[in-house]
Chains A and B, each alone.
Chain A
Amino acid sequence: MPEVDFTVEVCGMAGDGTIAAGGLINEAMSLGGFSVLGFDSYPAEIRGFGRCVTNSRIGSNEIVALGEHAHALISLNDEQSRSRAPFLSEHSLVFFDSNPPTYVQEEKSLLSVAPPGVIIFGIPFSDLAVSAAGSSRGRNLTALGGFAAVTGIEPDFFREVIKNKFKSKGDRVVDINLKSFDAGYEYAMGKFADRLLQLFPKSEDRAGHDKVVLSGNQAIGMAAIDAGLKLYFGYPITPATPIMEYLAKYLPEHGGRVVQMEDEISSIGAVIGSFYAGVRAMTATSGPGFALMTELITHGVMAEIPAVIIDAQRAGPSTGLPTKTEQSDLQAAVFGGPGDSARIVIAPTNVEECYYFTLKSFQLAEKYQTPVIVLTDFFLDNRVENRPLPKTTGEQVACWNIFPGESSKGRYQRYDDTPSGISPRSFPGMEGFNFTATGLEHTEKGTPDYSPENHSKMTEKRHRKIRSALNDLEKPVEFFPNDQLDVGVIGWGSTFGSVLEAVEKSRKNGFKVGALKITSIFPYHSEIIKAFMAKSKFVLIPELNYEGQLANLIAHLDLKPVERLNFVTGAPIPPSAIQNRVEELLEVRAQ
């Protein structure tokens, strides 16, 4: 059976149903048993104008990165879709509305910029939708029908996901959308009978019913509920808002509450207050909101109060590019805030890790009594992958609070300087374990004390505690391990998928290349990273930021200079860019 690796984009104007169409493709192909990775980009404005694009990469093997060139483009708005023409592969399929309501000038036509090798499928989306369902609103479904017919996707996959999507709106809405889909399907089956393709194996060959399509944000929300989250405090901000939306919908069913606060400062304050009282709480924000939280985050560091903060990075600084992706909050997450305020920062690399890392963040926060920052980014938050539904064990959601023993009752020191730096923790109201909590420097008992000796001792104690967290933090994972590497590529966050694909391709080209995935950003496993760097002739760190923020953090571990590859395009790093850089490095060495 031929391997499938197919990328389809849907492009339209906000309000065209573009994102809905892309979502249906992801769901339908998942149902068909394929691996799916989808990502949407849309304007920062709420509705009515601006370009929306969905990118769905569909494969028979696991997909870890976005497709760089589309094999099919479904245009719901030709003027907007012109921007996608450079990303079309040579013989891609282009679906467009062949009977727009008015004549289109050449400079607004998609076909006037489409590469000559594309195969054109003109379908009167609006006309068919109106005939079938009485409204042109279903033209996105009609387009999907045409796409399914031409590419050989079983229509029942789409019909099933259309039913699921619209069932909450009643039978009539389901019927209208099914009719719109079928109108496009039947038209294409007839009109393009001599050009129909069979790009996807039939359903009997595959069964994907055990997988669910999840975004990174949905996985985070789901994990928070599974972790026993009771309170969510937040202020809306792209790309973190869907987490709050998800929790607002589902957390009350689990006995929790979502509170929209007046800003991010109050949000983090409430999270710290909840944890102080012994209740699991969380907030999610993005760079600008995170900046507002930093003072109170360091309060959590100083007063040793847990907190779980999702920093969904977007392109910055300041308001920046709200709907574009970037990995440029790393330094802020690790170092942001006054004083020596070490905290735990972890960064998942895919949707599955979004789930499991969020789950674990509560345990880490409780055990190490410090804010834990889960660093995601727009590409990770907003992308969807289809995976088996995550399952948790009791161990994964267990409380990791270390409570004081009965023997210390009456002589309890909240900030006891233990060998690990972890002090047994009590909550207000625990009789015999009373304490003072303060953002002022304090003694082991919690009494304010500014003496040089005390500040030196307690600062070291807090840092020792954070270092000890390495015992519970994920170690870096080496892919394609080898004793010696020509190029060792280190990746983190959403970029790691591109790293993995690039390294795999370079290896197929005969290059001795390996990859290291780092998910524990701070503290980090320096010995493992150092060993990987030492055995690599070149070390390459691709990042979606200008400054090379991970490279800045770990470059000192080895004497050789780290090669950097930095993109600030607002879009994920294409695997080919990493592969090219890898192979350039080796060609330079060969000369």
Chain B
Amino acid sequence: MSVQRFVVIGNGPAANRAADSLREKAPESKITILSKDPFRSYRPHLLPDFIAGALKEEDLYFRPHAYYKERDIILRLGQSVVNIDFSKRNAILEHKELVPFDGLIVATGGKPRIPEQFRLFEELMLTLKTPTDAKLWIEKLASTEAVLIVGGDLTSLSLTKALLKLGKHVRFILNEDAFWPRPLNDEVYRAVTERLEQRGVEVIHCRRIKRMTRLQENLLEMETDSQTIEAGVLGAFFGLVPDVRFLVKTGLDIDHGVLVNEFLKTRFTDVYAAGDCAQVYHPGLRDYWVSIGYENAAALGRIAALNLLGSRLEVRVEPESILEVGGVKVNTSWWTEF
């Protein structure tokens, strides 16, 4: 029998746990990780500390290349999958290479979410998802004193701490999208405002952002429903959304993420999806939900790998942990534990 070829798309927690599980249970197989990002696996929660200068870049990464070599896992970084031919079972890379597979796990993770009303201004905003983003922050901060934060996911709070440590003046805009996917009720709103102001952050309350303009290389201007604000850097923090756009034409069922059943299987044989990019069917809810968070993603990666190898493990999540935001059901069990 020929060696089984497994391909994992992505290099985050789900992808890595999936590859590890495949290697553990199928020691003779050929396992390839394809990642569009050119960098190794990293700890995203350390990015603000890196920006603050408390860590060196190397400290962000947690798996040396030798880790993969020792496990005979082929790690291919900086190589984007642009399509998948399920009939011939090939992943098609941007540079026109065909990578054949017998089993496939899609674990591409999430990408920064930019709400619809901000899409026009996307180029003016910095996000913080990857080491590359962090380096851009460092570069921009070198020549600016004032930073404006829009949105308010957990990354933004960590980054705010880092910015204050660097002596920057931080303005924080709070509105209904600020803590997506968690709704911003009055109680949370007040608590967050108080906490930020205690730390020296200027909290700006507004319902609507009307306009953003770049006045100079290091000067942006934002007009809200109540005032006009200037800042050197503008950070946008609205959580993450599944990074699956490249899969739209492949024939996979895509909604917000890749639709999979409770066993993480897609509509194609031996093709699974796991982590932040998957929308998982919940038989109890009779609906799909999206998981976010590092540990959840890793757990799903393992389940996908084991099921690809013949197990029949069901993803179990309590319905109470799933809430609906903007039409998407999200498992936020990690949120309150943070």
Contacts and interface: CB of A to CB of B under 8 A. Distances in A.
Physical interaction between A and B:
yes
Interface of A: 90, 96, 98-100, 102-106, 109, 111-112, 114-117, 119-120, 122, 194
Interface stretch (B95-103, B219-227, B277-285): B95-103
A111 B65 contact: no
B78 interface: yes
Given A104-B98, A112-B97, 11 more contacts: A98-B94, A99-B95, A100-B96, A102-B96, A104-B95, A105-B98, A111-B79, A111-B93, A114-B76, A115-B65, A120-B78
B328 interface: no
Given A112-B74, A112-B76, A117 B65 contact: yes
B97 A111 contact: yes
Given A90-B65, A117-B65, A109 B97 contact: yes
B95 A111 contact: yes
7 contacts: A96-B95, A99-B96, A100-B96, A106-B97, A109-B97, A115-B65, A116-B75
Contact of B38 (A90, A96, A112, A119): A119
Contacts of B196: none
Contact of B96 (A104, A114, A117): A104
Contacts of A114: 76
Contacts of A112: 74, 76, 97, 99
B294 interface: no
B39 to A, nearest CB: 10
Interface in B35-83: 38, 40, 65, 68, 74-79
Contact of A104 (B68, B97, B100): B97
A127 to B, nearest CB: 12
B95 A106 contact: no
Contacts of A106: 97-100
Contacts of A100: 95-96
Interface residues of B, number: 20
Given A90-B65, A106-B100, A116 B77 contact: yes
Contacts of B93: 111
A119 B38 CA distance: 7
Contacts of B99: 106, 112
Given A90-B65, A96-B95, A111-B95, A119 B100 contact: no
A106 B78 CA distance: 16
Nearest to B136: A194
Nearest to A100: B96
B97 A116 contact: no
Given A112-B74, A119-B38, A120-B78, A103 B65 contact: no
Interface string B261-293: 000000000000000000000000000000000
Interface in B77-132: 77-79, 92-100, 132
Contacts of B78: 119-120
B98 A116 contact: no
B95 A98 contact: yes
Nearest to A121: B78
Contacts of A104: 95-98
A68 B38 CA distance: 25
A111 B36 CA distance: 13
Closest 8 CB pairs of A and B: A116-B75, A109-B97, A98-B95, A120-B78, A116-B65, A104-B97, A106-B99, A103-B96
Contacts of B97: 103-106, 109, 111-112
A118 to B, nearest CB: 8
Given A117-B65, A119-B38, A120-B38, A111 B76 contact: yes
Nearest to A105: B98
A119 B98 CA distance: 20
A119 B37 CA distance: 11
Contacts of B77: 116-117, 120
A90 B40 CA distance: 13
A139 to B, nearest CB: 15
Nearest to B75: A116
A114 B38 CA distance: 13
B243 to A, nearest CB: 20
Contacts of B74: 112
- Residue from B65, B94, B98 whose CB has the most chain A CB atoms within 10 Å: B98
A7 B32 CA distance: 29
Nearest to A195: B38
Nearest to B79: A111
Contacts of A98: 94-96
Interface in B174-200: none
Contacts of A105: 97-98
